[in-house]
Amino acid sequence: MSTTQDQECDQVTLLTGRGDIFSGITVDSKLLAKTSALFEHQLEQSLVAWRQAKRRGIWLSIPHNRTELIPIAQKLGFILHHAKPDYVMLTHWLDEKEPNQLPSYAMSTIGVGGHVVNKKREVLLVEERFAYVKNYFKLPGGCLDMGESIESGLEREVFEETGIRAQFRGILAFTYKAEFRFGHADVYFGCLMSLDENEEDQKINYDPGEIAACKWMSLDEWANSS
């Protein structure tokens, strides 16, 4: 290693971040070195410091525009944990005496479906544009977004799919599927919704990108359909 490189190493800012009650560190991404070579020295030296300080779980979030750093972190013992559009999270468990206790990421989606009944005793149903079974009508609904409540996610999805504004009243039932998309689970909440007096006459206005048909069906007809 040349003297210039040694000096570069010495000048590298050690990574620091937020500590937690588990003796872990969540690295501050703003401190990541500007080049891959400097980052490698920085991470190597930071690991030495964290081991000396008896740190256990290290959380390293690589921003989406620095993903060239991922193989370097992996070479130094980091493991993929989860990713969102704007980052990839890697972790490194440093405690050699105890097993890895780092929590896993989310393993389930939450789906919601709205049971809206009007004064004529008709239920609001949709047929999906992309469906495995044709001519199959189901409750409008969909997946909750990150950070969304069951109530507001339900009202948003029903409005997006049907154009009808209805209010959450309560959860009627739920199902849990252990294996859904990408091996993750899914919880589906079937919810009762109601229409205010002034909302009974709303026009159906569905999103053709997602929905093939939307209609009110009498409860009797729905109960007798397969």
Among 81, 165, 169, 215, binds a second copy (CB under 8 A): 81
For residue 127, the cross-strand partners are: 213
Task: Return d(Cα 140, Cα 205) in angstroms, integer.
Answer: 13
Instruction: Indicate the residue among 175 and 218 with the shorter CB distance to a second copy.
Output: 175
Q: What is the DSSP string of 79-129?
A: EEEEEETTEEEEEEE--SSS---PPPP--EEEEEEEEEB-TTSEEEEEEES
Q: What is the DSSP string of 46-68?
A: HHHHHHHTT--EEEEEEEGGGGG
117 binds a second copy (CB under 8 A): no
Residues with Cβ within 8 Å of 175's Cβ and at least 6 positions away in sequence, in order, are 187, 188
Segment lying near a second copy (by CB under 8 A), choices 38-46, 78-86, 198-206, 211-219: 78-86
Give me the least distance between CB of 53 and a second copy, in Å please.
17
Task: Return d(Cα 167, Cα 87) in angstroms, integer.
Answer: 35
- CB 81, CB 57: distance < 8 Å: no
Task: Return d(Cα 27, Cα 34) in angstroms, integer.
Answer: 15
136 binds a second copy (CB under 8 A): no
145 binds a second copy (CB under 8 A): yes
Task: Return d(Cα 96, Cα 54) in angstroms, integer.
Answer: 10
What is the total count of residues that contact a second copy (CB under 8 A)? 52
Residues with Cβ within 8 Å of 138's Cβ and at least 6 positions away in sequence, in order, are 113, 125, 126, 127, 128
- CB 189, CB 150: distance < 8 Å: yes
192 binds a second copy (CB under 8 A): no
Instruction: Indicate the residue among 81 and 156 with the shorter CB distance to a second copy.
Output: 81
Segment lying near a second copy (by CB under 8 A), choices 42-50, 68-76, 119-127, 212-220: 68-76
Give me the least distance between CB of 196 and a second copy, in Å please.
25
2 binds a second copy (CB under 8 A): no
19 binds a second copy (CB under 8 A): no
18 binds a second copy (CB under 8 A): no
175 binds a second copy (CB under 8 A): no
Give me the least distance between CB of 130 and a second copy, in Å please.
5
Interacting residues with a second copy between 48 and 67 (CB under 8 A):
64, 67
Q: Which residues bind a second copy (CB under 8 A)?
A: 21-22, 64, 67-68, 70-71, 74, 79-89, 98-99, 101, 103-110, 130-132, 143-150, 176, 178-179, 181-185, 187, 209-210
